Amino acid sequence: MSGTWMTTRAWLLMLPLLVIMVAVIGWPLVDTVRLSFTDAQLVGTAGNYVGFDNYTKMLTSSNFTRTLSTTTWFAVVSVAAEMVLGVLAALLLNQEFRGRAVLRGLMILPWALPTVVNATLWRLIYNPEYGALNAALTQLHLIDDYRSWLGEPGTALAALIVADCWKNFPLVALIALAALQAVPRDITAAALVDGAGPFNRFRFVILPYLAGPLMVALVLRTIEAFKVFDIIWVMTRGGPANSTRSLSILVYQEAFSFQRAGSGASLALIVTLLVTVLAVAYATLVRKTAGSAT
Amino acid sequence: MERKNPVFTAFVYVCALLLAAVILAPLAWLFVMSISPAADLAAKPLRWWPQAAEFSRYAQLLSTAENSAGAAFTSSLRNSLEVAGMATLAAIILAVPAGWAVSRTPSVGWSLSMVIATYMLPPVALSVPLYMGLSWLGLLNNVFGLALIYLTILAPFTTWLMKSGFDSIPREIEAAAMIDGAGLLQTWRIITLPLAAPVVATSALFAVLLAWDEFFYALLFTSDQRARTLTVAIADLAGGRVSDYGLIATAGVLAALPPVLIGLVMQRALISGLTSGGVKG
Amino acid sequence: MLKSIGKTLLGAVFFGGLFVPHAFAETTLNALFMAQAAYSEADVRSMTEAFTKANPDVKVNLEFVPYEGLHDKTVLAQGSGGGYDVVLFDVIWPAEYATNKVLVDVSSKITDDMKKGVLPGAWTTVQYDGKYYGMPWILDTKYLFYNKEILEKAGIKAPPKTWEELGQQAKIIKDKGLLKTPIAWSWSQAEAAVCDYTTLVSAYGGEFLKDGKPDFQNGGGLSALKYMVDSYKSGLTNPNSKEFLEEDVRKVFENGDAAFALNWTYMYNMANDPKDSKIAGKVGVVPAPGVAGTSEVSAVNGSMGLGITAVSKHPDEAWKYIEFMTSQATQNQYAKLSLPIWASSYDDPAVTKGQEELIAAAKLGLAAMYPRPTTPKYQQLSTALQQAIQESLLGQTTPEDALKTAAENSGL
């Protein structure tokens, strides 16, 4: 069989997938770009060309800068915590102890729980008057009075991050655990004989095996954290005083609540650009780590 | 093992118990709330275990009496099943040929990378034109419209997983069948697909979990019982307008049950799927 | 494996298909309501059942969303060919809905009997620019509820007549150790907070707009926010109020954890129901207080109407349904959680029996109902106000600055 026929056939086999992707993602993306230069409304007027007005308006608004920093903070802290907790849990699960298999099985539960259910669950736990967290902390005498966890700007974002971490660190743990199990026993044994301390063993013997898979998890989680919508929508809707409003929520408000499709589109594209830059930066990093690890 | 130090062993057990508690406590509480009488849930100090378990809320949500709260919930359960089912089926149908093509002809692989890169796009960047497009097609508030959009979330993943699966099937086996005169479809049917069956299953389960979890598009593109999915139904319940926390918890338990069961039963396959994608990515 | 999974999926789809209700009726209407507050979901369902019994050729699909989703759902459904026929809308939306052609003008369908029979305050709910965009359905304002038992224990003879007095009474209750934080409000970052704020604006004689420009940052509008902030900082207000919606307020009040609460009509009979409430029989209700020298009572217009969407293919059946839902007979029958829009109902013993106290408060409160601003850009204005309220409560800015910023961000 000739190479050209192979390639043609491959393209033909890819075709259905590509057609769907172009129709449902490619075209809307192009149309979003067009919309972002108009003052179109969501329903009704098609809108007129307004140049870069939407972009300048959005980029200079205090809402945008504030929301960007909220989102970044959420992403950085939650992803970092998920990575650390995930690796620690994986190291633990890599030890031998009774019930290990069961515990490993349990790890899948938070990850399988739908995001919206997770958000609902934590919203109930954080309830200021009848929530389990307040009850537990007072009964343990850790706090004197019930608190408004989701009602204070100081704790609301942290409360969201905890809820997000709880759902996602097990995934990191499972990925890291699979990688740990690929570390050959004799290597760790050799390091032990060489007198390497636990930290050095982790840093120089184990970490290289973890680096690749962890980087992938890191990239995926960061992108997701940057796009965050569901958990915030259910738990706080961006409150109190907009202290938990993420970029996605801001776009939703602009485009759908206020029905300004044009400026909503420009904002959405700014977010897209940010995520793309992040992803490309990460991808470069992944390639470098992969190169140095092997 | 490297250490038999009893202190270290004790430390491991303490950590393991702690981890188990962290994972289980919120889930257990969700279930306890679902069977606690409303008065127990509003008690101060809080009652951690119901005086009398009541399962009436489950009956209430699963009843199908017309125009009842239960009917609204069961219809969203049905919609979620339909949308996830259709989207998953379609995602596998697209992924098998595409994944095979990329596996056997790596020169077209860049197009799959492009497809996978769409994962980066925040849904808000597509939502306005999609809304207008679906409206034009008459597919707003429609399970088919929603399934079509979900397909583009699922297909990149399933294709990637299928490609990894096909990679591990030696080409020589397929070549042998073709020399014997089998066409492409026949070769797939007799050789490739049976060998790839576990991967197909894993991809399908992944796809179902992804579709079951989706919220943003469902929130925007569905409006009532004809298409509203479970995630939106639960978010509505949790929106602060229902004062029976037990009912909210019950809905959560019911919505979590299918994916959690899938997760538990298919644990090994899911993890190997995750890591094979992860390690090679 | 593949086969069995495929089968399962196919099975799921097929199985699901069996559940699809078969419509025998000739016309199917889709109606959008809100969950909780005012008429309960159960009430709406049984009203609708009565309607379909009387009109067997019409079938009505009911949809309930939280209030917070009502506006967006209505607007988003406009794009779908088979969207809602009948929607519940808040008093603040007719301007936007009329401008964006979400609702149809039904002025020609309003009969003289309706015009005469329905309270004038209710009509403002559905009017914009001299046209009618539906029928008023829920006539509602926020009342001051109080726990009689707690007031008695504190030695307080009568509920407060002014907001200042409310603070003093709350302080007595707090000082006597009866409750740590006696007042509950719904100050979550949502429309609910704007409703509480509006009540106070009306008490202080403030104005939202002057000549189409924001004026809430001056005079009464500013005093209203200052009152909220003072009450919050003094510790008399439950600090969790800033994440409460109406249902949270009700839960706290029914649990006996609040002496005073601002809430809608529906709380009266719910809090008096021993099945859910720990304070049944101890619920007092008066109009929201006034400000000495400025107002006797205060009230926000929190009414809602039923309208026909522009995309409805069955406007006639939809109107028939709306007529039924808003008819005096229906409203009198379900007058426990929401009071009728019809003037003569308030003298009908069938309506007033068992809730004389509420009716007495309603007579004063409904007459004093104060509107939130009428503008197509209301959503944006409200969002800006919600932010201002929360930021001042949290002490992030002063009420003056917060309202100034809100005025700038109001889009007006």
- Kindly list the residues from chain C whose CB atom is less than 8 angstroms away from the CB atom of residue A261: none
Tokens 């492409």, residue located: B184
Tell me if chain C has a CB within 8 Å of the CB of B152.
Answer: no
Residues 142-171 of A with CB under 8 A from B: 166, 170-171
pLDDT band at B249 (very low <50, low <70, confident <90, very high): very high
Interface chains of chain B (3 or more CB pairs under 8 Å): A, C
Which H or E run contains C29? strand C27-34
Size of interface B-C (CB pairs under 8 A): 122
pLDDT band at A293 (very low <50, low <70, confident <90, very high): very low
Measured between alpha carbons, how far is B29 from B40 in angstroms, rounded to an integer? 13
CB contact under 8 A, A120 and B234: yes
Question: In this predicted structure, what is the pLDDT of residue C253?
Answer: 95
Is the CB of residue C112 less than 8 Å from the CB of residue C63? Answer: no
Question: In this predicted structure, what is the pLDDT of residue C13?
Answer: 43
Where do the domains of chain B lie?
1-54, 66-280
Contacts of C114 (CB under 8 A, 6+ apart): C135
Is the pLDDT assigned to residue B268 strictly greater than 50? yes
Query: Is 3.30.360.10 the CATH classification of the domain at C143-300+377-409?
Result: no
Q: Where in the sequence of chain C do the CATH 3.40.190.10 domains occur?
A: 26-140+302-361, 143-300+377-409
Tell me if chain B has a CB within 8 Å of the CB of A45.
Answer: no
- Tell me the shortest Cα–Cα distance from B64 to chain A, in angstroms: 22
| All domains of chain A in start order, with CATH | 54-293 (1.10.3720.10)
Q: Which residues pair with C145 in a beta bridge?
A: C261, C285
Predicted confidence pLDDT, tens digits, chain C (412 residues)? 344 444 444 444 444 444 444 444 478 898 999 876 788 888 898 999 999 999 999 999 888 888 888 898 888 887 665 678 999 999 999 998 998 889 999 999 999 999 999 998 899 899 998 999 999 999 999 999 999 999 999 999 999 999 999 999 999 999 999 999 999 999 999 999 999 999 999 999 999 999 889 999 999 999 999 999 999 999 999 999 999 999 899 999 999 999 999 999 999 999 999 988 899 999 999 999 999 999 999 999 999 999 999 989 999 999 999 999 999 999 999 998 899 999 999 999 989 988 999 999 999 999 999 999 888 889 899 999 999 999 999 999 999 999 999 999 888 7
- Tell me the shortest Cα–Cα distance from A53 to chain B, in angstroms: 18
Q: Looking at C83-161, list the stretches that DSSP marks H as alpha helix, in order from N- to C-terminal side.
A: 94-99, 112-117, 120-123, 148-153
Quick check: helix, strand or coil at residue C209? strand
Pairing between strand C260-263 and C143-147? antiparallel
Is the pLDDT assigned to residue B281 strictly greater than 60? no
- Kindly list the residues from chain B whose CB atom is less than 8 angstroms away from the CB atom of residue C15: 81
Q: Which of A221-225, B2-6, C215-219 has the lowest mean pLDDT?
A: B2-6
CB contact under 8 A, A29 and B125: yes
Is the pLDDT assigned to residue A111 strictly greater than 60? yes
Is the CB of residue C303 less than 8 Å from the CB of residue C122? Answer: yes
Question: Percent of chain B at pLDDT above 70?
Answer: 93
Is the CB of residue C90 less than 8 Å from the CB of residue C70? Answer: yes
CB contact under 8 A, A151 and C396: no
pLDDT band at B253 (very low <50, low <70, confident <90, very high): very high
Tell me if chain C has a CB within 8 Å of the CB of B69.
Answer: yes
Tell me if chain C has a CB within 8 Å of the CB of B38.
Answer: yes
Is the pLDDT assigned to residue B134 strictly greater than 50? yes
Q: Which of B258-262, B266-270, C374-378 has the lowest mean pLDDT?
A: B266-270
Q: Where are the beta strands (DSSP E) in C235-374?
A: 260-263, 283-289, 297-298, 304-308
CB contact under 8 A, C100 and A41: yes
CATH of region B66-280, choose from 1.20.140.10, 1.10.540.10, 3.30.750.24, 1.10.3720.10 = 1.10.3720.10
Side-chain-side CA neighbours of residue B31 (13 Å):
6
Rg (CA), chain C: 23
- Tell me the shortest Cα–Cα distance from B197 to chain C, in angstroms: 6
Measured between alpha carbons, how far is B34 from A50 in angstroms, rounded to an integer? 53
Question: In this predicted structure, what is the pLDDT of residue B4?
Answer: 66
Q: Give the mutation candidate from B128, B148, B149, B247 for the A interface (greatest A CB count, under 10 A).
A: B128
Cα–Cα distances (Å) from C404 to A53, B241, C217, C398, C410, in that order, read 25, 31, 6, 10, 10
Contacts of C31 (CB under 8 A, 6+ apart): C48, C60, C61, C62, C63, C84, C85, C86, C87, C88, C321
Tell me if chain B has a CB within 8 Å of the CB of A282.
Answer: no
Q: Is pLDDT larger for residue A159 or for residue A287?
A: A159
Tell me which residue in C75, C240, C242 faces A43 most closely, judged by beta carbons. C75
The pTM for the full model equals: 0.89
Question: In this predicted structure, what is the pLDDT of residue C7?
Answer: 44
Pairing between strand C213-214 and C209-210? antiparallel
> To 10 degrees, what angle do helices C219-233 and C399-409 make?
130
Is the CB of residue B169 less than 8 Å from the CB of residue B196? Answer: yes
pLDDT band at B275 (very low <50, low <70, confident <90, very high): low
CATH of domain C26-140+302-361: 3.40.190.10
Contacts of B96 (CB under 8 A, 6+ apart): B162, B188, B193, B196, B200
Question: In this predicted structure, what is the pLDDT of residue A212?
Answer: 80
Size of interface A-B (CB pairs under 8 A): 283
Question: In this predicted structure, what is the pLDDT of residue C285?
Answer: 96
pLDDT in tens, A186-203: 777 777 777 777 778 787
Backbone angles phi, psi at C238, to 5 degrees: -60, 120
Helices (H) and strands (E) in chain B, counts: 14, 0
The mean predicted confidence, pLDDT, of chain B is: 87
Measured between alpha carbons, how far is A188 from A192 in angstroms, rounded to an integer? 6
Could you give the strand order of the β-sheet that contains C283-289, starting from the edge strand earlier in sequence? Answer: C183-184, C260-263, C143-147, C283-289, C297-298
Q: Which residues of C touch A (CB under 8 A)?
A: 68, 71-72, 75-76, 78-79, 100-102, 180, 188-190, 239-240, 242-243, 248, 251-252, 255, 257, 379-380, 383, 386-387, 390-391, 393-394, 396
- Kindly list the residues from chain B whose CB atom is less than 8 angstroms away from the CB atom of residue C6: 89
CB contact under 8 A, C396 and A238: no
CB contact under 8 A, C251 and A241: no
- Kindly list the residues from chain A whose CB atom is less than 8 angstroms away from the CB atom of residue B245: 124, 127, 130
CB contact under 8 A, B140 and C81: yes
Tell me if chain B has a CB within 8 Å of the CB of A190.
Answer: no
Q: What ipTM does the predicted assembly reach?
A: 0.90
Is the CB of residue C390 less than 8 Å from the CB of residue C244? Answer: no
- Tell me the shortest Cα–Cα distance from A220 to chain B, in angstroms: 9
Pairing between strand C209-210 and C283-289? unpaired
CB contact under 8 A, A174 and B274: yes
Tell me which residue in C2, C12, C73 faces B223 most closely, judged by beta carbons. C73
Backbone angles phi, psi at C337, to 5 degrees: -105, -15
Nearest CA in chain A to B245: A124
> To 10 degrees, what angle do helices B193-213 and B143-167 make?
140
Tell me which residue in A32, A234, A275 faces B238 most closely, judged by beta carbons. A234
Q: Find the distance separating the first CA and the last CA of chain B, reported in whole Å.
A: 32
Side-chain-side CA neighbours of residue B221 (13 Å):
32
Tell me which residue in C79, C239, C243 faces A150 most closely, judged by beta carbons. C243
Question: In this predicted structure, what is the pLDDT of residue B264?
Answer: 83
Q: What is the DSSP string of chain A?
A: --HHHHHHHHHHHHHHHHHHHIIIIIHHHHHHHHHHTB---SSS----B-TTHHHHHHHHSHHHHHHHHHHHHHHHHHHHHHHHHHHHHHHHHTS--TTHHHHHHHTHHHHHS-HHHHHHHHHHHT-TTT-HHHHHHHHTTS-SS---TTTSHHHHHHHHHHHHHHHHHHHHHHHHHHHHTTS-HHHHHHHHHTT--HHHIIIIIIHHHHHHHHHHHHHHHHHHHHT--HHHHHHTTT-STTTT--HHHHHHIIIIIS--HHHHHHHHHHHHHHHHHHHHHHHHHHHHHHHHH-
Q: Is pLDDT larger for residue C12 or for residue B175?
A: B175
Residues 233-252 of B with CB under 8 A from C: 236, 239-243
Q: Which of A153-162, B171-180, B210-219 has the lowest mean pLDDT?
A: B171-180
Average pLDDT estimate for A233-261: 91
Interface chains of chain C (3 or more CB pairs under 8 Å): A, B
Question: In this predicted structure, what is the pLDDT of residue B273?
Answer: 63
Residues 170-209 of B with CB under 8 A from A: 184, 209
CB contact under 8 A, A128 and C190: no
CB contact under 8 A, B129 and A135: no
Tokens 């979890």, residue located: B213
